[in-house]
């Protein structure tokens, strides 16, 4: 996959994409990420990229020219598949990002992320260049860089080969209605805090049952809103009823 990021802070973005799993995915060329300075495309001699809003009001708006030119540049000078590329504008006004959307976007060949600043970008940019407006949550950040980083991270780990295959499958089912069960590692006794006995038993079936039980319990407690009733087994339903009657 090719990802081009249009930003006013390319050095910051480069840093974020230079660690851990995303770094390894880049080294293996499972994902190619390039960050482009929008300011470099400004035609005015001060390199300014924003201006006052027509109609008045507070804040500044990012002007269309540098963004249109940066966008055209990445379409023409990178390995993007032009006809298929999706241009994502990071904005709190967008559709909410989710694991499902990360999985969907990980299937694309080419993505462009546009990171806005100030009060946002000129509407003509959105109308002409943007295919997807996406928000990472109902709060307003100072710019689109952190949202783009969040999305690129979540998308990258869903590209086949980036994680061990079985993990990504787990993930799909995890977000299919249940939170993950708790994890433990060595030591079995840390300052008197013990790992649940069943996990040390080597009894595979019992471990699976315990994990499912915990997943159902965690989900009921923390995120009952994500439960998909049609994915539950009759044993799960029994458990949920037990939790509910205890309350």
Strand order in the sheet with 86-96: 32-37, 2-7, 110-115, 86-96, 132-135
Asked if residue 144 binds ligand ADE (CB under 6 A), the reply is: yes
Stretch that binds ligand ADE, among 71-79, 129-137, 198-206, 212-220 (CB under 6 A): 129-137
Output 141 or 198, the one with its CB closest to ligand ADE. Answer: 141
Asked if residue 92 binds ligand ADE (CB under 6 A), the reply is: yes
Other C-beta atoms closer than 10 Å to the C-beta of 69 total: 15
- Among 59, 137, 161, 187, contact with ligand ADE (rule: CB under 6 A): 137
For tokens 């080969």, name the residue.
161
- Strands 32-37, 2-7: pairing is parallel
Asked if residue 135 binds ligand ADE (CB under 6 A), the reply is: yes
Give the span between the Cα atoms of 56 and 246, in whole angstroms: 58
Stretch that binds ligand ADE, among 39-47, 57-65, 139-147, 158-166 (CB under 6 A): 139-147
Asked if residue 102 binds ligand ADE (CB under 6 A), the reply is: no
Other C-beta atoms closer than 10 Å to the C-beta of 49 total: 24
- Strands 2-7, 110-115: pairing is parallel
- Among 91, 110, 156, 219, contact with ligand ADE (rule: CB under 6 A): 91
Residues 6+ apart with CB under 8 A from 204: none
* Shortest distance in whole angstroms from residue 165 CB to ligand ADE: 30
Backbone angles phi, psi at 27, to 5 degrees: -60, -35
- Among 85, 136, 149, 154, contact with ligand ADE (rule: CB under 6 A): 136
Output 135 or 156, the one with its CB closest to ligand ADE. Answer: 135
Asked if residue 10 binds ligand ADE (CB under 6 A), the reply is: no
Asked if residue 90 binds ligand ADE (CB under 6 A), the reply is: yes
Stretch that binds ligand ADE, among 30-38, 46-54, 69-77, 84-92 (CB under 6 A): 84-92
Asked if residue 174 binds ligand ADE (CB under 6 A), the reply is: no
Asked if residue 87 binds ligand ADE (CB under 6 A), the reply is: no
Give the closest residue to 95 by CA, choosing from 145, 53, 149, 151. 151
Cβ contact 95:135 at 8 Å: yes
Write out the residues near ligand ADE by the rule CB under 6 A.
90-92, 135-137, 139-141, 144, 147
């Amino acid at each position: 996959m090719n990802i081009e990021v249009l930003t006013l802070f390319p050095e910051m973005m480069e840093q974020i994409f230079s660690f851990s799993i995303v770094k390894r995915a880049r080294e293996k060329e499972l994902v190619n990420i390039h960050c482009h300075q929008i300011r470099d495309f400004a035609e005015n001699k001060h390199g300014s990229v924003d201006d006052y809003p027509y109609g008045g009001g507070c804040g500044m708006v990012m002007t269309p020219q540098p963004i249109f030119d940066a966008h055209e540049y990445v379409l023409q000078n990178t390995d993007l598949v032009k006809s298929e590329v999706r241009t994502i504008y990071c904005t709190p006004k967008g559709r909410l990002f989710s694991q499902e959307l990360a999985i969907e976007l990980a299937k694309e060949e080419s993505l462009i992320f546009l990171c806005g600043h100030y009060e946002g970008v000129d509407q003509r940019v959105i109308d002409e260049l943007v295919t997807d407006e996406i928000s990472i949550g109902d709060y307003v950040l100072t710019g689109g860089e952190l949202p783009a980083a969040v999305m690129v991270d979540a998308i990258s780990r869903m590209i086949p080969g980036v994680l061990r295959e079985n993990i990504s499958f787990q993930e799909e089912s995890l977000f299919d209605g249940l939170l993950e069960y708790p994890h433990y590692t060595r030591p079995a006794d840390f300052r008197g805090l013990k790992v649940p006995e069943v996990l040390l038993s080597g009894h595979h079936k019992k471990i699976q049952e315990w994990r499912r039980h915990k997943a159902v319990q965690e989900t009921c407690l923390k995120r009952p809103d994500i439960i998909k009733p049609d994915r539950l087994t009759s044993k799960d339903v029994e458990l949920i009823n037990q939790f509910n009657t205890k309350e």
